[in-house]
Amino acid sequence: MTTADVTREVTPIPAGPLDLLRHSWVLAKRSLVKTWRTPEGLIDVTLAPIMFTLLFTFIFGGAIAGSTSEYLVFLIPGLIGQNIAFSSVGIGIQLNSDMEKGIFDRFRSLPISRISPLLGAALGDIVRYVLLIGIMVGTGSVLGYRITTDPLSFLAGCLLAILFALSLAWAPMLVGLVARSERAVQGIVFMTLFPLTFASNAFVDPSTMPSWLEAFSNANPLSHLIESLRALWSGTGEWQGPVTSTLVWCAILVAIFAPLAIRAYNRKT
């Protein structure tokens, strides 16, 4: 431990506009490595979706749609919407623990953009959403679910779902940065997510709800995503309208929560 520090001539990569992307990627890799090391952290996007698919199909299928196979067309996009929302709590918990353990202090003291740690965490989560969609559609297909449109529409649906997930993630990120414990993050996020996911078109047709709830369901951003996925994957209707409103919602979510989350991260206390 007494060896002197060796000073070599090194020329660092010059700072430039690509720094934000490079630094975010470095930090995304950090979350990927962590995900890889603790695969049990993926239960919410692997086993949980399988369980939900089986439960909902066999419990509600007959009652709601008359048959399980018909219900699947309705249910799989609904479950994807619900599980994207549920699994977004993970990023909030992650940021909260980074904050708690002081590693954010290190990032803040480095000459990197203050958005990089947040962007990195979000990018690292893409793999979770890909897994989630794959497992949902896979489980569905075992039960008889089929994509009846074309591969391009399927891909478009996947991309839309991931984009939505990344936009929505800023809300739990904000919670993760302001809440004082992981438990609080979980509590706050789930308390918001339950009404958001159930008061939507995920499991039942909103026209069967009381009118005030139907109005909420129809405005619910998740409903727009779910409707887009049904249209893109099963041709249940026009896709242009719901896809557009989903994209608008993505923009709104980012416009509201991203600045707040960045401010919370920068908050100098």
Partner 1 sequence: MAIELAVEARGLVKNFKETKALRGIDLAVPRGSILGVLGPNGAGKTTAVRILATLLRPDGGAATVGGFDVERHPAEVRKRIGLTGQYASVDEELTGRENLLMIAALLNLRSADAKVRARELLEWFDLGDAADRTLKTYSGGMRRRLDLAASLTGHPEVVFLDEPTTGLDPAKREDMWDVVRGIVANGTSVLLTTQYLEEADALADDIVVINHGEVIAHDTADRLKRVVGSQTLRVRPADPAQAPLVHEILARVATDGAPIDEHRPGEYSVPVPGDAVLTDVVASLRAQGVDVTELSLQLPSLDEVFFTLTGERQRQPATDGEAA
127 closest CA partner among 99, 151, 91: 91
User: Helix, strand or coil for residue 237?
Assistant: coil
Judge residue 192's burial from the number of C-beta atoms within 10 Å of its C-beta, 0-12 exposed, 13-18 middle, 19 or more buried: middle
Is 38 an interacting residue with respect to partner 1 (CB under 8 A)?
A: yes
Is 102 an interacting residue with respect to partner 1 (CB under 8 A)?
A: yes
Length of the chain: 269
Binding residue count for partner 1, defined by CB under 8 A: 40
Please select the residue that binds partner 1; options are 14, 39, 151, 210, rule is CB under 8 A.
14
C-beta closer to partner 1: residue 3 or 208: 3
The residue type found at 11 is T
Is 33 an interacting residue with respect to partner 1 (CB under 8 A)?
A: yes
DSSP conformation letters of 18-80: THHHHHHHHHHHHHHHHHHH-GGGGGGGTHHHHHHHHHHHHHHIIIIISSHHHHHHHHHHHHH
C-beta closer to partner 1: residue 105 or 150: 105
CA distance readout (Å), 215 to 195, 204, 229: 13, 14, 20
Please select the residue that binds partner 1; options are 3, 40, 63, 211, rule is CB under 8 A.
3
Only segment of 27-35, 76-84, 174-182, 211-219 that touches partner 1 (CB under 8 A): 27-35
CA distance 223 to 207: 13
Is 26 an interacting residue with respect to partner 1 (CB under 8 A)?
A: yes
Question: To the nearest whole angstrom, how small is the minimum distance from the Cβ of residue 176 to partner 1?
Answer: 16
C-beta closer to partner 1: residue 84 or 264: 264
Judge residue 41's burial from the number of C-beta atoms within 10 Å of its C-beta, 0-12 exposed, 13-18 middle, 19 or more buried: middle
C-beta closer to partner 1: residue 47 or 103: 103
Please select the residue that binds partner 1; options are 21, 47, 105, 146, rule is CB under 8 A.
105
C-beta closer to partner 1: residue 193 or 264: 264
Question: To the nearest whole angstrom, how small is the minimum distance from the Cβ of residue 18 to partner 1?
Answer: 10
Tokens of 20: 């934000």
Interface residues toward partner 1, by CB under 8 A: 1-8, 10-15, 19, 22-23, 26-27, 29-30, 33-34, 37-38, 101-112, 116, 268-269
